[in-house]
Chains A and B, each alone.
Chain A
Amino acid sequence: EVQLLESGGGLVHPGGSLRLSCVASGFNFNDYAMSWVRQAPGKGLEWVSGISGSGSNTYYADSVKGRFTISRDNSKNTLFLQMDSLTAADTAVYYCAKARYDFWSGHYGMDVWGQGTTVTVSS
């Protein structure tokens, strides 16, 4: 079964850091680009970041550029999101999602999603 399982969410103080993980199973992880998408309380979905299958190309939304770092360990079928300088605006459920090709292809549709991990930034 194709599956994505996020972890690493929690409560963090403003200015703090958190590292999210997403373990993939059921498909050849390194053959597909991956993405992080978030949903703040009461808000819609927001694309956060994307990475190519090899990990050599990374992309970020303006709202997180310079603060978040996406990476992947293909030997462990795991996607990461390092989040630094967190603010209350980063409070959200964070989803990892699989793109349909190995190059950054979130715009072709993301066909597998995890159930999300919750990040709360509060003092």
Chain B
Amino acid sequence: QSALTQPASVSGSPGQSITISCTGTSSDVGTYNFVSWYQHSPGIAPKLMIYEVNKRPSGVSIRFSGSKSGNTASLTISGLQAEDEADYYCCSYAGFNNLVFGGGTKLTVL
């Protein structure tokens, strides 16, 4: 499976909202409601932020939300904070017990 397509970088000022897109195909994102999002900073264990397209694990801020339309999933972060600066990865089920990740998006808080 080919990696899902994410923008290499996005940026925003504190308090603003940003959206990170994750484009797949009808073989993964477009067919399955199993899209998750992970936050990852160097030297720190990745953290699950969103699962099953739009569900938030306990302890994750309500500023993080997920959605999906067709072959594209999106992660929106509202009320941007300096602590949100990290790399973000989407992940989708791709059938036959396989998972496929996106290439990652570096979020910079200006």
> Are A and B co-members of a single complex?
yes
Residues of A in contact with B (beta carbons under 8 Å apart) = 4, 35, 37, 43-47, 50, 59, 61-62, 95, 97, 100, 104, 106-116
A50-B97 in contact (CB<8A): yes
| The residue from A45, A59, A108 contacting B104, defined by CB atoms under 8 A apart | A45
Q: Which of B12-20, B38-46, B67-75, B78-86 contacts its partner?
A: B38-46
Residues of B in contact with A (beta carbons under 8 Å apart) = 1, 3, 32, 34, 36, 38, 40, 43-48, 50-52, 57, 89, 91-93, 97-104
B40 to chain A, nearest CB (A): 8
Q: How far is the CA of A62 from the CA of B51 in the complex (A)?
A: 24
B3-A47 in contact (CB<8A): no
Q: How far is the CA of A62 from the CA of B96 in the complex (A)?
A: 11
Q: For B44, what are the chain A residues with a Cβ–Cβ distance below 8 Å?
A: 115
B45-A115 in contact (CB<8A): yes
B97-A45 in contact (CB<8A): no
Using a Cβ cutoff of 8 Å, how many contacts connect chains A and B?
70
Q: How far is the CA of A112 from the CA of B3 in the complex (A)?
A: 22
Known A-B contacts A107-B32, A107-B93, A109-B57; A47 and B48 likewise in contact (beta carbons under 8 Å) = no
B89-A47 in contact (CB<8A): no
B89-A44 in contact (CB<8A): yes
Given A43-B103, A50-B99, 16 new contacts (CB under 8 A): A37-B101, A44-B101, A44-B103, A44-B104, A45-B89, A47-B99, A59-B97, A61-B98, A107-B36, A107-B91, A107-B93, A109-B50, A109-B51, A111-B51, A111-B57, A116-B45
Q: How far is the CA of A54 from the CA of B16 in the complex (A)?
A: 45
Q: For A59, what are the chain B residues with a Cβ–Cβ distance below 8 Å?
A: 97-98
B100-A47 in contact (CB<8A): yes
Q: How far is the CA of A37 from the CA of B98 in the complex (A)?
A: 12
Q: How far is the CA of A122 from the CA of B95 in the complex (A)?
A: 33
B39 to chain A, nearest CB (A): 11
B45-A107 in contact (CB<8A): no
Known A-B contacts A95-B45, A113-B46, A115-B43; A108 and B101 likewise in contact (beta carbons under 8 Å) = no
B3-A44 in contact (CB<8A): yes
B89-A108 in contact (CB<8A): no
